Homo-oligomer: A and B are copies of this chain.
Amino acid sequence: MNNSPSATVCRGRTLLTAVWRAASHIAGRIERRLEPTGLSLPKLQMLTHLVEAGEPLPLGQLAGRSACAKSNITQLVDRLEADGLVRREPDPEDRRSVRAAITKDGLRAYEAAARAQSEVEAELLASLSPDEQQHLAALLERFREERV
């Protein structure tokens, strides 16, 4: 999704590309539904972390939870701050650290976007029975089990 129906790559006929296409399809659907909220998937992700944490988070924490580079967070927070959805605040305990705090507007945007996301997810999951969902999750998990 790299944000967006983003990631394109692929093609070929293998199972791996099927996984990739499914992921792109999902991300695309969600992002389209997110449009009216003005949030992108990466932005929603940031807000979600902040809401779930229930308190301002140091940018490094955000990078960790999103599994992405610190420099990416710097920029993402720049944009969120420009949108007025997040505020940077200094950490008195550690002067190296900067914490991101969600604003009232940020919370409002989050709520609408989270709802939209859930709707799409529900729609997509409706294609599969609970059993099938479980099975799919189990199969996907296997790719990550490294024996290397």
Residues of B within 8 A of A26 (CB): 16, 19-20, 143
Given contacts A1-B2, A22-B144, A25-B143, contact A49 B11 (CB under 8 A): yes
Question: Most B CB atoms within 10 A — which of A9, A24, A127, A135?
Answer: A9
A71 at interface by CB-CB < 8 Å? no
CB distance from A28 to the nearest CB of B (A): 10
Binds B, one of A62-70, A77-85, A88-96, A97-105: A62-70
Partner of A7, one of B6, B132, B142: B6
B22-A140 in contact (CB<8A)? yes
Residues of B within 8 A of A15 (CB): 125, 128, 133, 136-137
Given contacts A19-B23, A127-B143, A140-B18, contact A2 B7 (CB under 8 A): yes
Q: Which 3 pairs of residues, A with B, have the shortest CB-CB distance? A: A2-B2, A2-B7, A23-B23
State the A residues within 8 Å of B (CB): 1-4, 6-12, 14-16, 18-27, 41-42, 45, 48-49, 65-68, 72, 121, 123-125, 127-128, 132-133, 135-137, 139-145, 148
Chosen A-B contacts, 16 in total, with CB atoms closer than 8 Å, are A1-B2, A1-B7, A1-B8, A6-B6, A9-B42, A11-B66, A14-B125, A16-B121, A18-B137, A19-B23, A21-B144, A22-B141, A124-B143, A127-B143, A135-B139, A136-B140
